[in-house]
Amino acid sequence: MDRIRLVGGNELNGEILISGAKNAALPLMISSLLTHEPLVLENVPRLADVKQLERILENHGVDIAVHGRRRGEAEGGGQRMTFHANDIVDTTAPYDLVSKMRASFWVIGPLLAREHNARVSLPGGCAIGTRPVDLFLYGLKALGADIDIDEGYVVAKAPKGGLVGTTITFPKVSVGATHTILMAATLAKGTTIIENAAREPEIGNVAECLVAMGAKISGIGTERLVIEGVSELHGATHEVLPDRIETGTYAMAAAMAGGNVLLRGARPEHLQAALDTLSASGVHITSEADGIRVYRNGNGIQPVDIETQPFPGFPTDLQAQFMALMTMSTGTSHIRETIFENRYMHVAELARFGADISVDGQLATVHGKSQLKGAQVMATDLRASVSLVIAGLAARGETIVNRVYHLDRGFERLEEKLSRCGAEIERLAS
């Protein structure tokens, strides 16, 4: 397996182009199953998860093309891809494909809506908690689907004539369930109302794409989505929004290492809670016409308490990165993880740098230190892996991060982006 080697101590100065959001690209790709016409997506990131979902969609019969860079497009920008699901040749999503990535389970919504049946393996993904699919099935049943579990597969059938709109009130916020029911409802008969819907920007990005494809959706960006079903959707061209988690990650990297970095293309309104937290820690954050500038030069990092929350709160996907930052604060900070019950696996690895962190249930207490020391560490999941890179940027000496295939799932050209800003970082091939 590949490893990443880095030597800490260098400030970060320069620009980092923010890639397209993984958490929007994946459901946007899946939405291509809803129409027999081509869907063109722009700014698609080059990630392992994108490649894995390509395999899954091809298994269903989707033709996929990757286009070259067009005149005037910035070097290093995302891919332009066409997804054409003219014929669904198979409504089964097999275990060997779905088990590698949780978001692939979301194909159940479009398959059920368009083909009226689906057989999808229960999902896999990062081992950061159980993340059950009960809310997905609750929503699909409410739309009239008959659901059965058979040898690790969810077998779903729509009633004769297709899914039927209804009011669905989620007992708790779920991004995946909101994506799935939103897509399924576009082809349901009548009106579907989703109450307590997730409000993440990625949900809005997908909803806007569906509208461009002919869907009738109101309430985008709110916790109440209203979908008037249509008989069919058509093709469209749509752009994947910039990745707010990548934005926050590089902002925290600049905060930890020091320096002055422009995060080009970033949208501050997509992660304001995280930016406000960074500002409270003593980091200078300014919005510019073409992105967000992050600046810290010599001043200490102040301890700040956070609690992860659904959007617009502090994102759980930035919790590990923020914890890495707090290990070098001038005092004690507290982090409460409310989204996933097993998202502190990075604590033991951060301790290898000399970090002083204790965990009691959902609460982590971080006692800041003036200096971390480089170490051999192991990535345990996608976001935890990048928190180790952030710690290594500021640690004294050499750090080796093992099992970086987790990084490749969600961060595009990470070593290149950081090295261009002065980091001493390289990938060591296995």
Give me the pLDDT at residue 130, please.
Answer: 44
Annotation says 421 is catalytic: no
pLDDT tens digits for range 381-427: 877 789 999 999 999 999 999 988 889 999 999 999 999 999 999 99
pLDDT tens digits for range 236-292: 999 999 999 999 999 999 999 999 999 999 999 999 999 999 999 999 999 999 999
pLDDT class of 76 with cuts at 50, 70, 90: low
Q: Within this chain, do residues 267 and 210 fall inside the same structural domain, yes or no? A: no
Distance of CA 115 to CAs 4, 29, 87, 109, 188, Å? 44, 17, 10, 10, 12
Residue that is last in its domain, among 219, 239, 259: 239
For 347, the token pair is 């604590």
62 is in an annotated binding site: no
Give CA–CA dist 312/267, Å, rounded: 14
Q: Within this chain, do residues 216 and 177 fall inside the same structural domain, yes or no? A: yes
Q: Within this chain, do residues 149 and 258 fall inside the same structural domain, yes or no? A: no
CATH number at residue 88: 3.65.10.10
Percent of the chain at pLDDT above 70?
96
pLDDT tens digits for range 320-365: 999 999 999 999 999 999 987 777 889 999 999 999 999 999 999 9
Domain count, the chain: 2
Q: Within this chain, do residues 250 and 225 fall inside the same structural domain, yes or no? A: no
63 is in an annotated binding site: no
Q: Within this chain, do residues 227 and 279 fall inside the same structural domain, yes or no? A: no
Percent of the chain at pLDDT above 90?
86
Residue that is last in its domain, among 188, 205, 239: 239
Give CA–CA dist 401/425, Å, rounded: 11
Give me the pLDDT at residue 118, please.
Answer: 97
**pTM of the shown model:** 0.95
Catalytic-labelled residue, pool 97, 126, 263, 394: 126
Give me the pLDDT at residue 127, please.
Answer: 40
More confident residue, 339 or 312: 312
Q: Within this chain, do residues 123 and 169 fall inside the same structural domain, yes or no? A: yes
Give CA–CA dist 289/200, Å, rounded: 23
Of the candidates 313, 300, 328, 321, the residue with the CA atom closest to the CA atom of residue 381:
321
Q: Within this chain, do residues 215 and 299 fall inside the same structural domain, yes or no? A: no
Residue that is last in its domain, among 239, 260, 284: 239
Q: Give the mean model confidence (pLDDT) for residues 33-41.
A: 98
Q: Within this chain, do residues 194 and 292 fall inside the same structural domain, yes or no? A: no
Give me the pLDDT at residue 191, please.
Answer: 98
Q: Within this chain, do residues 224 and 290 fall inside the same structural domain, yes or no? A: no
Judging by beta carbons within 10 Å of its beta carbon (0-12, 13-18, 19+), is residue 199 exposed, middle or buried? buried
Give me the pLDDT at residue 406, please.
Answer: 86
Q: Within this chain, do residues 174 and 247 fall inside the same structural domain, yes or no? A: no
Q: In the chain, how long is the greatest CA-to-CA distance? A: 67
Q: Which residues pair with 155 in a beta bridge?
A: 119, 148
pLDDT class of 128 with cuts at 50, 70, 90: very low
Give CA–CA dist 228/217, Å, rounded: 7
More confident residue, 125 or 284: 284
86 is in an annotated binding site: no
Instruction: Write the CB contacts of 234 (distance below 8 Å, at least 6 apart in sequence).
Output: 35, 37, 213, 214
Q: Within this chain, do residues 110 and 246 fall inside the same structural domain, yes or no? A: no
pLDDT at 429 over 80: yes
217 is in an annotated binding site: no
Mean of per-residue pLDDT scores for the chain: 94
Q: How does DSSP assign 75-96, residue by residue?
A: TT--EEEEEE-SS----EE-HH
The answer, yes or no, to whether the previous bond of 312 is cis (omega within 30 of 0) is yes
Domain extent at residue 85 = 22-239
317 is in an annotated binding site: yes
pLDDT tens digits for range 43-52: 999 999 999 9
Give CA–CA dist 417/12, Å, rounded: 10
Q: Within this chain, do residues 152 and 72 fall inside the same structural domain, yes or no? A: yes
